[in-house]
Amino acid sequence: MSHAPALRYPIWTGGRDVLRAEWTKLATVTGPAWLLAAVVGLSVAVSAAADAVTRCPTGITCSVDTVKLSLTGILLGQAVVAILAVLPVCNEYSTGMIRVTLAAMPRRPMVLAAKASVVTGLVLVAGIFAVLGSLVTGLLILPGHGFTAVRGFAQLSLTYGPTLRAAIGSVLYLGLIALLSIGIAAIVRDAAVSIGLALGVLYVFPVLTAFIGNQTWHDRIVRYTPMAGLNVQATTGLRSLAIGPWGGLGVLAVWALAALLAGGLLLRLRDA
């Protein structure tokens, strides 16, 4: 392959156009809008349900992390984010659109970068609403269930450092899940297999940690798999965590980046 064009034009040449193209593809079908609404709606609904069923009866010391509890819905929201991220990539292959796309923009990694930017941008916006909505459910429901200031549960507030970290971290978590899913989709190309892999990565490790008897392996799974990113929601008992909040999100970021790089590389190497 000739490297001449890369010398003459900067790497971001055509970046605006390809971003606009990807934006147009997403914005002109109804699916993504519905999925974004589902990210917010389902996250808030599950968070509200989790808050509604958790009580701290008088006379018992509860060690509930109220912030993490109020963000339970992110566990479902991430599944919708995975669909939202996988479809724009896999639909290109199933419809044959990928050949048009690559004819218009032969710099293949750029296409993936543009897709990732547009999808992740949308997910981050939806994530802000999902997280804020979830925290509001906690704010409204939990004080009535025994989680009162008198018993050591301060009102949920973004002015409190750890709560703010959990909120921002959860939004970023959803963004990273989008990037991870896009990477997986670029590697696998098929929607069903991609979504299966993405959900497998997201759900199997937490289930496994619930079963595993060996503490060392339990901690290793929590520390090194994408589920580490969920630790960013923790606001209490940080010392007992296998990995800290930002460290956990960093592990997820490494996974997402690795998936994207592998996807980008395969996109360059394989025929479309």
Considering only residues 233 through 262, tell me which ones interact with another protein, judged by CB under 8 A. 234, 236-237, 240
Minimum CB–partner distance for residue 137 and another protein (Å):
14
Q: How far apart are CA 254 and CA 226, in angstroms?
A: 9
CA dihedral (170, 176, 181, 184) in degrees, to 10, reads: -140
Binding mask 173-212 for another protein (x = CB under 8 A): -----------------xxxxxxx--xx--xx-xxxxxxx
Taking CB under 8 A as the criterion, the residue among 40, 41, 54, 131 binding another protein is 54
Taking CB under 8 A as the criterion, the residue among 25, 68, 107, 108 binding another protein is 68
Taking CB under 8 A as the criterion, the residue among 15, 23, 55, 266 binding another protein is 55
Tokens of 35: 């999925």
Contacts of 132 (CB under 8 A, 6+ apart): 167
Q: How far apart are CA 234 and CA 203, in angstroms?
A: 18
Q: How many chain residues bind another protein (CB under 8 A)?
A: 50
DSSP 62: -
Hey, which bits of 17-71 come out as E strands? none
DSSP 158: T
Footprint of another protein on this chain (CB under 8 A)? 50, 53-56, 60-65, 68-69, 72, 75-76, 79-80, 82-83, 86-87, 90, 94, 190-196, 199-200, 203-204, 206-214, 216-217, 234, 236-237, 240
